[in-house]
Structure 1
């Protein structure tokens, strides 16, 4: 029984060491040295092989080495192979830190002050109390809930939008397409944490961005494809939106002529809001080994009907 590693070679030894300590019964192999493919029961990969079913007839579980799973074609994954997300509390905590930073930066108008600094302007702005600022999170899953929990003690008015009803600490959850515009209409700061699916691709288009209150800010830590970048740029240039903090883009890195690089009301970070933490990821793998042995439901299995 072995696990085949097909992710960043720079991290391979760390995964090997952690797995050998916590799951010594699981042989670690690193692509392309697959050995006997019949012995590969688990794969840890960033992107899958096109012929994964043909190569690995005894494959049981495919672990996603990144936070998202939109890079996997679920239609080509055999029905008997489950796709697993390596989401754990440490990953959620790191994501919540970034969201907290972004919300506070937009709340205290730090992007506008940076623009003033570059222009040599000394222009204090009125301070808005957190209790008067409405923050909405799109996608109230494990990561979204962690972000909301981190924001709640600061006193923001919180809300969420989700496919199904979820608890929002101290706030309201809007549900489904019929309530999306109402949700957006009360978001002074919008945080996108959605998974990328056919239904959410391009969800923040010009019409949806126009639903936001005048001067609203956007934090995107979901996927670049959620936001129509030309629509966002227009909203920023026309003053309808006050700023955007973007950790993900359609093209990463963006081309050098992409206007987002130098836009005065945009902060770009290179897809670093969060990532799978090796210790936490291994903990999920070890727990699922135990659950397999005992015939229990596995952790973090991707629902193929939803795509996440």
Structure 2
């Protein structure tokens, strides 16, 4: 009997993913049917994105797993009708893209590039930055993306501290965890990068209290999730000089409203959710590998802990 795979994502993606998934499943040696329509009780796997419209998994009585095309799973992790394994997207193409974006903006702050690009006043005032060994960078979140960014920055000799909710051990990175560790990590951070998931425990992790823990003038980079930051608290910290600059790629509501204060603030850089994107070529490889593993009775990769929400 063929393996039935339902593609439930934005319709425009079907023409992109269909040949890639067909190629990958064929190379895996599977007898399969891949489609955008299938009787629910015949579906073995769902390739899923929230914008595909699928909300009720109760009719999917044969379902073995839901395989997300998105790294963030906050829109499905709490779905009570979903009782089978849920795998999030951990895509090496997405990871590389995120690492490049984070390293680029950390270097931008470290080297003071904005000042040299925007201020051309005819005044010769050499003010070289310290070497990377003298610059303290904090990564909030040490999952796949956070660890990759931390390792890349450490390879450039930045003094990198990573913080996570639970204990981690990454060679070359000072790893802290828990509430006490968060205060220690922030108190040393000249540049903070947010790469945490969006969960009730991480919402507004940067707020009035935690922003006050930063050294005055620290810079913030958020390519993670919009709700990680209390926007009012950040604007107040920017206005007071407690935070020197913020580069924000993600927001609570997207697109960011044209009248949002971030657009006009002189110490905010807005980028339109471009830090990284799932690459169909590499994402399809991840999906096909998980289907192959499922059919061989092996554990799925990148399973979501529903109790934690990621």
For residue 56 of structure 1, what is the aligned residue in structure 2? 60
Do structure 1's residue 193 and structure 2's residue 199 form an aligned pair? no
Do structure 1's residue 279 and structure 2's residue 274 form an aligned pair? no
Question: How many angstroms does 1:294 deviate by?
Answer: 2.6
Do structure 1's residue 102 and structure 2's residue 105 form an aligned pair? yes
Question: How many angstroms does 1:8 deviate by?
Answer: 2.8
C-alpha distance in 1 between matches for 2:115 and 2:253: 26
Q: 1:270 to 1:51 in 2, by over 3 A?
A: closer
Contact kept? 2:8, 2:54, Cα under 8 Å: no
TM-score normalized with structure 1 length: 0.91
Q: 1:122 to 1:12 in 2, by over 3 A?
A: farther
For residue 32 of structure 2, what is the aligned residue in structure 1? 26
- Unaligned runs of at least 5 residues, structure 1: none
For residue 252 of structure 1, what is the aligned residue in structure 2? 254
Alignment of 1:85-100 (within 5 A): 85-100=88-103
Alignment of 1:70-85 (within 5 A): 70-79=74-83, 81-85=84-88
Contact kept? 1:111, 1:265, Cα under 8 Å: no
Q: 1:285 to 1:50 in 2, by over 3 A?
A: closer
- The secondary structure found in structure 2 opposite 1:63 is strand
Question: How many angstroms does 1:293 deviate by?
Answer: 2.6
Q: Which moved more, 1:152-161 or 1:54-63?
A: 54-63
For residue 230 of structure 1, what is the aligned residue in structure 2? 232
Question: How many angstroms does 1:78 deviate by?
Answer: 3.0
For residue 180 of structure 2, what is the aligned residue in structure 1? 178
C-alpha distance in 2 between matches for 1:123 and 1:225: 40
Contact kept? 1:18, 1:279, Cα under 8 Å: yes
For residue 265 of structure 2, what is the aligned residue in structure 1? 263
For residue 214 of structure 2, what is the aligned residue in structure 1? 212
Contact kept? 1:38, 1:57, Cα under 8 Å: yes
Q: 1:252 to 1:275 in 2, by over 3 A?
A: same
Question: How many angstroms does 1:240 deviate by?
Answer: 1.3
- The secondary structure found in structure 1 opposite 2:76 is coil
C-alpha distance after superposition, 1:202-231 (max 9, x if no partner): 111111111111111111111100001111
C-alpha distance after superposition, 1:172-214 (max 9, x if no partner): 1111122111111011100000011110011111111111111
C-alpha distance in 2 between matches for 1:107 and 1:290: 44
From 168, 171, 184, the counterpart of 2:170: 168
TM-score normalized with structure 2 length: 0.91
Q: 1:206 to 1:307 in 2, by over 3 A?
A: same
**Root mean square deviation, CA, Å:** 2.0
C-alpha distance after superposition, 1:74-98 (max 9, x if no partner): 241432x111112122221111001
- Unaligned runs of at least 5 residues, structure 2: none
C-alpha distance in 1 between matches for 2:45 and 2:149: 31
C-alpha distance in 1 between matches for 2:32 and 2:122: 60
Contact kept? 1:159, 1:168, Cα under 8 Å: no
C-alpha distance in 2 between matches for 1:255 and 1:78: 33
For residue 14 of structure 1, what is the aligned residue in structure 2? 16
Contact kept? 1:5, 1:28, Cα under 8 Å: yes
Question: How many angstroms does 1:297 deviate by?
Answer: 1.2
Contact kept? 1:46, 1:65, Cα under 8 Å: yes
Alignment of 1:152-163 (within 5 A): 152-163=154-165
Aligned residue-pair number: 303
Question: How many angstroms does 1:121 deviate by?
Answer: 7.8
Question: How many angstroms does 1:62 deviate by?
Answer: 1.3
